[in-house]
């Protein structure tokens, strides 16, 4: 199983080679409430670290999902178009948003590991 890292904006990243799979954390989906729509980028789009990559709409609000790493979108989770609630039921599994071919793997290692993220979230509550 690959290591998972987190951003301060509550995105998670798992890396396989130079491909980063990106989604939102369980904490983030709980804050959003029931997700009703996800706007995904087109394949081939270049995303920058810290810049908006996707938009999520819930019954509470619309929120941006920021890319924790820079690179090219190589795959999007089309299942979210038909069933955006997957983000709520399996946020760190089947509820992923995009896969990005990373420009710089050091961006991944600079993110928080699970322990650091758990402490970060605990400080927010």
Task: Output the tens digit of pLDDT for each of the chain's 125 residues.
Answer: 468 999 999 999 999 999 999 999 999 999 999 999 999 999 999 999 999 999 999 998 899 999 999 999 999 999 999 999 999 999 999 999 999 999 999 999 999 999 999 999 999 87
Q: What is the pLDDT of residue 125?
A: 77
Residue that has been written with the tokens 């690959």 in this structure: 2
- Distance, CA of 77 to CA of 86 (rounded, Å): 10
Minimal CA–CA distance to 100: which of 8, 18, 25? 18
Q: What is the pLDDT of residue 1?
A: 43
- Fold classification of 4-114 is OB fold (Dihydrolipoamide Acetyltransferase, E2P) (2.40.50)
Please tell me the pTM assigned to this model.
Answer: 0.94
Q: How far is CA 18 from CA 14, 24, 103, 106, 114, in A?
A: 10, 20, 8, 11, 20
User: Structural domain boundaries of the chain?
Assistant: 4-114
Q: What is the pLDDT of residue 2?
A: 62
CA angle 5, 62, 47 (to 5 degrees): 45
Q: What is the pLDDT of residue 29?
A: 95
Q: Using an 8 Å Cβ cutoff, are 66 and 11 in contact? A: yes
Q: What is the pLDDT of residue 63?
A: 94
Q: Which two tokens stand for residue 75?
A: 């795959």
- Distance, CA of 106 to CA of 75 (rounded, Å): 21
Q: Which two tokens stand for residue 121?
A: 């979230």
């Amino acid at each position: 199983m690959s290591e998972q890292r987190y951003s301060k904006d509550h995105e998670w990243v798992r890396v396989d080679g130079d491909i980063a799979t990106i989604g939102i954390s369980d904490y983030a989906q709980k804050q959003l409430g029931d997700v009703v729509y996800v706007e995904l980028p087109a394949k081939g789009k270049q995303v920058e670290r810290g810049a908006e990559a996707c938009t999520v709409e819930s019954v509470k609000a619309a929120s941006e999902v920021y890319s924790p790493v820079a690179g090219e979108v190589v795959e999007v989770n089309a299942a979210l178009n038909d069933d955006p609630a997957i983000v709520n039921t399996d946020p760190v599994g089947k509820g992923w948003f995009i896969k990005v071919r990373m420009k710089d793997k050091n961006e991944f290692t600079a993110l928080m590991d699970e322990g650091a993220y758990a402490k970060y979230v605990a400080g927010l509550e």
